[in-house]
Structure 1
Amino acid sequence: MTVPVFYSISDDFTPYAAVSLHSLVKHADPKRDYTVTFLHQGLSRDHEKALAAYNRDNVHIKFYEMSDELLKPIQDRKENYLRGDFFAMSIFYRLFIPDLFPEYDKVVYIDSDTVLNDDIAKLYDHDLGNNLLGACTDTSIQFVEKMLRYIKEVLTLDPKEYINSGMLVMNAKAFREENFVDKFFSLLGRYHFDCIATDQDYLNEICSGRIKYLDGRWDAMPNENTAALENPGLIHYNLFFKPWRFSGIQYEDYFWTNAEETIFADELKAELAKTTDEERDTEYHKMDHMLGKLDTTLQDPHNWARVKENEQVTL
């Protein structure tokens, strides 16, 4: 039985995805079989070739182009912005994996800004029971007061149970049986919730109470408030902590050790070198812009909290 792993990428994210894929292949168990699929809407021939080069006897690299028709209901609107400042359709691809790949009852999804330090099959092997997801609590927001208020007062969820969507073990069979995509499109089309974390918020809302919480080593995220984990299984360079833009961040050595072993090493080092302090400062403070939504969403008569209370919406 293969271990199905999915990424969602845009063409410009290929160098980072290659680093992640390289680390995945490096830690893959030679006695097991893996199928890695890249969901995209247009990859250059050179980039597809670079990723396909990681094919092995037991690691099969595939590509799936997402159709415009499937994604048509998701509009380039401010409430669907990533990090509050731009629209990225690729963040929604993961939601469709169970329906697009009915041959799989369980899958692993990881973001492209990740590095594996352990065998991803260990993630896949988690027994989800009747849960829809296996995931980790989002540690990147536990010290951000406005984000905690947003989760408690707008989403009416417990911040300690709010998961990050950059690593998901998905109960694909249950997703299909319970019509997850229909629920997502129904909520999206009817309410246009102004989200801070878009697809992540929908996953937290719809899957609330049906999430298996996994050890935090499977979604270790750089931050400035806690010590680094000694043995992270998966490092996720979430938000603005990108080692190809910033120096001195937690877990950067894991990234560069793997990056040096890819054909993109020089390109990635050049990107770090040419990033100015002014650009880093702008990037770092994008969090403030993202959290600026708190005040408006708190007052929004159609925010998650008011809709759930007044209309008794069943998610």
Structure 2
Amino acid sequence: MAELPEPVLQSGYAGGDDSFHIVFCVDDRYFRCMGATIASILEHNPLRHFTFHVLATKVSDDNRRLFEGLAQRPGVRCHVHLLDAGLFDRFEQYTRSSYYSSAIFARLVIPDLLKSYTDRVLYLDADILCVGSIDALDALDLTQDIVAVVPDAIATTQRRVAALQLKHGRYFNSGMLFINIARWLEAGISQQTISAILQQGERFRFPDQDALNVVLDGRARYIDIRWNYLYGLVGDLEGNRPALDIAPGAATFIHFAGSVKPWGAWCGHDAVKLFEHCHRQSAWAAVPLDMAPQNYKEARMHSRFLWARGQRLESLRWYLRYLRMRRRR
């Protein structure tokens, strides 16, 4: 069985208290997005104490300063954990030709890294916004559980259950993991997940997520979708439906999974307004949103969205830009 290397880190421990611990695993370029996530959590949970952890292989001086500056707020602590980039070299073949980065594998070191800080921790992707209280999640009794998760979309679940031959017929999205650290470590989940990736990675569509589902098949606790409410913007925009369509109370964490994100102001979806609201309250408020597509894939999608809105000439212009950007990549 593959062993988990000892992470190289820089951090500080301020002692235990009643903090709710939340951890992010991000590239340096995703701190802006993570900042909006944190701001949304603090806005809707003003009386809580939080400890925010970020795991990264590199952090710019500005991002470190802004992140650690959050600890100036009453009841907030922050820890930066720097990981040796070489820790993830063995997974390079699974990220080289996709939009995934090695950060997706960093969550596998969370329990080992944070076991001296807390007995349970909430992992969140940085494309999630909080729109309500986390009281009910904090009250969840995880004593007998390794991890609490939320099921993925029905269509995705059906495809991945069949592809991975999952015996219990359930499949979760790993953008939210509420981890019982002691039970996770006792069960050896990280080591088993690494082994699954290295031995079966070629058949995994979502490398770490598929591997976690294989390893935790029948061992994860499924909770309400409000804690990882998946919302894809592409379908809305292709159908010229720019409104954010979520029933009141249906979501506490909105997860903007998919290739279009709410910090892409160019997309024209109302989710951008929600992100802007959170972004303005974050430490990264001075960092602008993406006002135009950032790559050829986004340029192509923007062309499609404009066409759906009846802006045919502008759509064609962006399609030509997409062709030029693709040739230059």
Q: TM-score, normalised by structure 2?
A: 0.74
Query: What is the identity, as a one-letter code, of the residue corresponding to 2:102?
Result: M
Query: What is the rounded CA distance, in whole Å, between the counterparts of 1:284 and 1:85 in structure 2?
Result: 20
Structure 1 position 283, deviation (Å): 5.5
Runs (4+) of structure 1 moved beyond 4 Å? 276-279
1:259 aligns with 2:279: yes
- Where do residues 20-169 of structure 1 align in structure 2 (5 Å cutoff)? 20-30=37-47, 32-55=48-71, 56-68=73-85, 70-72=87-89, 74-77=90-93, 80-81=94-95, 85-103=98-116, 104-120=118-134, 122-139=136-153, 142-143=154-155, 147=156, 150-157=159-166, 161-169=170-178
Structure label with greater radius of gyration: 2
User: Structure 1 residues 262, 113: CA separation in 2 closer, same or farther (over 3 Å shift)?
Assistant: same
Aligned to 1:238: 257
* Structure 1 contact 96–181 (Cα < 8 Å) conserved: yes
Match in the other structure for 2:8 = none
Q: Aligned-pair distance for 1:69?
A: 5.2
- Distance in 2 (CA, whole Å) between partners of 1:227 and 1:158 is 34
Per-residue displacement from partner, 1:204-242 (whole Å, max 9, x unpaired)?
111111222222111122234894232321111112230
Deviation at 1:121, TM superposition (A): 5.1
Q: Which has the higher contact order (CA 8 A, sep 6+)?
A: 1
Distance 1:160 1:249, change over 3 A: farther
8 Å Cα contact 2:167-2:217 kept in structure 1 = no
In the alignment, which residue of structure 2 is the partner of 1:9?
26
Question: Structure 1 residue 281: deviation in Å?
Answer: 5.3
SS at match of 2:214: helix
Instruction: Give 5+ residue unaligned stretches, structure 1.
Output: 286-315
Alignment check: 8 A CA contact 1:241 1:249 kept: no
Quick one: structure 1 residues 218 and 183, their matched pair in 2 at CA, closer, same or farther if it must change by over 3 Å? same
C-alpha deviation, 1:4, in angstroms: 1.2
1:48 deviation in Å?
1.2
The aligned counterpart of 1:229 is 247
Instruction: Identify if the C-alpha distance between structure 1 residues 50 and 244 changes in structure 2 by more than 3 Å, giving closer, same or farther.
Output: same
For 1:6-57, what per-residue CA distance to the aligned partner results, in whole angstroms no more than 9, with x for missing partners? 0011111111111111112222342x42211010011101111112222122
Pair 1:152–1:188, CA change in 2 (3 A): closer
Measure the CA separation in 2 of the matches of 1:118 and 1:101: 26
Would the alpha carbon gap of residues 44 and 120 (structure 1) be closer, same or farther in structure 2, given more than 3 Å must change? farther
The whole-number CA distance in structure 2 between the counterparts of 1:123 and 1:7 is 17
Q: Give 5+ residue unaligned stretches, structure 2.
A: 1-17, 237-243, 304-329
What SS does structure 2 have at the residue aligned with 1:109?
strand
One-letter amino acid matched to 2:256:
Y
Instruction: State the shift of 1:126 in Å.
Output: 1.5
Q: How many residues align?
A: 273
The 3 A distance-change label for structure 1 pair 250 and 177 is farther
Q: Distance in 1 between matches of 2:167 and 2:200?
A: 22
Change (3 A) 1:118 1:284: same
One-letter identity of the residue aligned with 1:41: T
Q: Does 1:216 align with 2:225?
A: yes
* Equivalent pair of 2:22/2:124 in contact (CA under 8 Å): yes
Contact 2:25 2:104 survives alignment (8 Å): yes
Cα deviation for residue 148 of structure 1 reads: 5.1
Aligned to 2:15: none
Higher alpha-carbon deviation: 236-245 or 113-122: 113-122
Distance in 2 between the 1:209 and 1:134 partners? Answer: 12
Q: What amino acid sits opposite 2:247 in the alignment?
A: L
Deviation at residue 87 of structure 1 after TM alignment: 4.4
